[in-house]
Structure 1
Amino acid sequence: MDIDVLGPLGVRVGGVAVMPTAPKPRKVLALLALHVDRVVPVGLLVEELWGERPPRSARTTLQTYILQLRELIGAALEQGTESAEASGDVSAKDVLVTAPGGYVLRGGGGSSDVVEFERLAGMGYRAMDGEDFAGAARLLREALALWSGSALADVRAGVQLEMEVRRLEETRLCALYQRIEADLRLGRHRELLGELTVLVSRYRTHENLHGQFMLALYRSGRRGEALSVYQRLRQALVRDLGLEPSPELRRLQQAILKTSEPTPHGARSEAVNAGARDRLARVG
């Protein structure tokens, strides 16, 4: 079984798509796919489908959706003659299993884009820790390339799926931030300007991204624009959240104000950590 959730939902058995068209069965499949090889409790599925006030027939209706999914899986098993799952030794009930208290979607050793994303991102973070910035940038770029849009873009999410989508989007943003950090430390400041322009417009109050944009502009000889980025961020923070920029970002702004020219070369950006004035001298 191959599972894609980092974009439109995709579940394939033996290369054949398993995709219900009705919204509620799609929700069930999405939640099972996100927790592949783990038990998804009935209560969690019911909450996803009907919120805090499920009908009395909720469990019976859920069983109907499970049956519909098994029918789709069974049809895929019959068509996917080249896969081990379609050899006749595996039935739909072996793929979508009834377990004590819930249901399990068995991956059967297939691929999962979210599992692969987490594997590559973890390797990228370890490379960052080891100051292998070229390796970190490559691994994190590969991880981010697995995304083809917003997580579960074509599923009408309920409470549980909304939480999962938010979690996944946060991991994506974290990987993106770290990949940009690796590129900054490799001196790719000018190459990042276009990307960071889009990102700070999308995430108007994300201080780390704004700090990276300020550094990229500063190291590209665009000191005035770097200071303008800080002012726009401050206005957005005050207006939208009633907050001032963090002390770290204020130190970065002050360091840029007090430093007339960037040094020509260096190795690290350090994002928006303390010691911004020393950091500016190191970034290249």
Structure 2
Amino acid sequence: MDIEVLGALSVRENGVSITPTAPKTRHVLALLALHADQVVPVSVLIEELWGVTPPRSARTTLQTYVLQLRLLISKALARNEDERCTSKDILATLPGGYRLDTRGGTVDYREFARRAGTGFRAMDAEDYAGASRRLGDALSLWTGPALTDVQGGSCIDTEVRRLDEARLCALDQRIEADLRLGRHRELLSELTVLVNQYRMHESLHGQFMLALHRSGRRGEALKVYQRLRATLVSELGLEPSAALSRLQRSILMLHPETAVPATASAGADTAARTASAGGVRIVARAS
């Protein structure tokens, strides 16, 4: 089974789509896909579908959605005459919940975590060309916002935020690698979009300032700082971090820092990353 959630939901068995069109059944599949090869408790599925006040028929209705998914899986399995698995093997009922078995298929968010991890390690080793390439490969798996076609509940929303934050962390580091490689002019159009999308993300603003200054656009770089400062003060009552303020002063003195140091401004741009089997994490505000 091949699973894609980094964009629209797509789940294929034997190369055949088993992604339903019915919203609730699609909702169930999305949550199972986000926890592929793991048991998802019935209580979690019910809360995801109906919140904290589910109807009395919730458990029975959930079983109906599972049956509908199994019918789609059965049709896909029937395409392969040598297939010995059944739909109940792939969407298994286990004590307390259900598990979607990928049987060694591809899962895009796991592949993203793997590729991003190699990129982070390349950054740590100061292999900036390798980091840019590997992080770019990781980001290429994204075709849009995670589960863009699924109206999720609390659990899916949390997972989507985690995935989006992981993407932002990889993007931030890929841009940092490109800056260290002297690709400041090539980054300008991308960063123009990003700082408008993430209006309080200090690292991205610092990278944009640096790219502008290195491109001979010092005045615009200083305006980026002023816009960010105004946004932070008006919306959060915070001043830019010390690191970003140092960058602004260095641009004023015509001696910009060669790299944007990691910044942290409580509530505005707190970033952290890990490279592990579980993926990567960043916390940032976007609007």
TM-score by length of 2: 0.89
Shift of 1:185: 0.7
Q: Is the 8 A contact 1:210 1:230 kept in 2?
A: yes
Which residue of the partner structure matches residue 59 of structure 2?
59
- 1: CA distance between counterparts of 2:98 and 2:181? 47
Q: Which amino acid aligns with 1:253?
A: Q
1:181–1:271 CA contact under 8 A, matched in 2: no
Matched letter for residue 105 of structure 2: G
Match of 2:149 in 1: 154
Contact between 1:189 and 1:219, CA under 8 Å: does it hold in 2? yes
Match of 2:259 in 1: 269
Residue identity in the other structure for 1:215: L
* Amino acid paired to 2:145: S
Q: Which amino acid aligns with 2:49?
A: L
* Number of the residue aligned with 1:15: 15
Residue 240 of structure 1 and its aligned partner are, at CA, apart by: 2.1
Measure the CA separation in 2 of the matches of 1:52 and 1:114: 28
CA contact (8 A) 1:249 1:272 kept: no
Quickly say closer, same or farther: Cα 1:271–1:189, change in 2 above 3 A.
Answer: farther
Structure 1 counterpart SS, 2:104 = coil
Task: Name the amino acid aligned to 2:4.
Answer: D
Partner of 1:210: 205
Q: 1 CA distance for matches of 2:117 and 2:211? A: 25
Q: CA deviation at 1:19?
A: 1.4
Corresponding residue for residue 111 of structure 1? 106
1:45-194 correspondence runs (5 A): 45-79=45-79, 81=80, 87-194=82-189
Point out the structure with max Rg over C-alpha: 1
Letter of the aligned partner of 2:251 in structure 1? I
Any idea what the Cα deviations from partners look like across 1:141-166, whole Å, max 9, x if unmatched? 01000000010011111111111111
Letter in 1 for 2:127: D
Confirm or deny: 8 A CA contact 1:221 1:262 kept in the other structure: no
Matched AA of 1:182:
A
Is contact 1:3–1:12 with CA below 8 Å preserved after alignment? Answer: yes
Deviation at 1:88, TM superposition (A): 3.0
1:224 aligns with 2:214: no
Give aligned pairs, total.
Answer: 264
**1:57 alignment partner AA:** S
Question: Partners in 2 of 1:77 and 1:10 — Cα distance?
Answer: 17
Task: Quote the offset at 1:247 in angstroms.
Answer: 1.4
Q: In the alignment, residue 108 of structure 1 is paired with which amino acid?
A: R
* In 2, Cα distance between equivalents of 1:42 and 1:87: 32
Instruction: Decide whether aligned partners of structure 1 residues 172 and 273 sit closer, same or farther in structure 2, where only a CA change above 3 A counts.
Output: closer
Asked whether the 8 Å contact 1:212–1:271 carries over to 2, the reply is no
Return the alpha-carbon distance in structure 2 between the equivalents of residues 100 and 61 of structure 1. Answer: 18
Paired residue secondary structure (1:181) = helix
CA distance, structure 2, for counterparts of residue 132 and residue 238 of structure 1? 37
Cα separation, 1, equivalents of 2:38 and 2:181: 40
Gaps of 5+ in 2: 265-287
Q: Distance in 1 between matches of 2:49 and 2:256?
A: 56
What is the TM-score with the length of structure 1 in the denominator? 0.90
CA contact (8 A) 1:211 1:272 kept: no
Structure 2 contact 210–256 (Cα < 8 Å) conserved? no
SS of the equivalent of 2:78 reads helix
Residues in 2 aligned to 1:104 and 1:227: alpha-carbon distance in whole angstroms: 53
Structure 2 letter corresponding to 1:123: T
Identity of aligned residues (%): 65
User: Residue 31 of structure 2 aligns with which residue?
Assistant: 31
Which structure shows the bigger proportion of residues in helix conformation?
A: 1
**CA offsets 1:168-191 (integer angstroms, 9 cap, x no match):** 100000000000001011111111
CA contact (8 A) 1:252 1:272 kept: no
Q: Report the alpha carbon displacement of residue 2 of structure 1 after superposing the two structures with TM.
A: 0.6
Match of 1:256 in 2: 251
Distance apart, 1:246 and its partner CA: 1.2
Deviation sequence 1:13-45 (CA, Å, 0-9, x none) = 000000111111111100111111011111111
8 Å CA contact 1:38–1:104 kept in 2: the answer is: yes
Please tell me the residue identity of whatever aligns with 2:140.
A
Q: What are the superposed Cα offsets for residues 167-224 of structure 1, whole Å, 9 maximum, x if unpaired? A: 1100000000000001011111111011101100111111110000011111112111
| Residue identity in the other structure for 1:269 | A
2: CA distance, partners of 1:62 / 1:171: 31
SS state of the match for residue 115, structure 2?
Answer: helix
* Separation (CA, whole Å) in 2 of partners of 1:204 and 1:183: 21
CA RMSD of aligned residues (A): 1.5
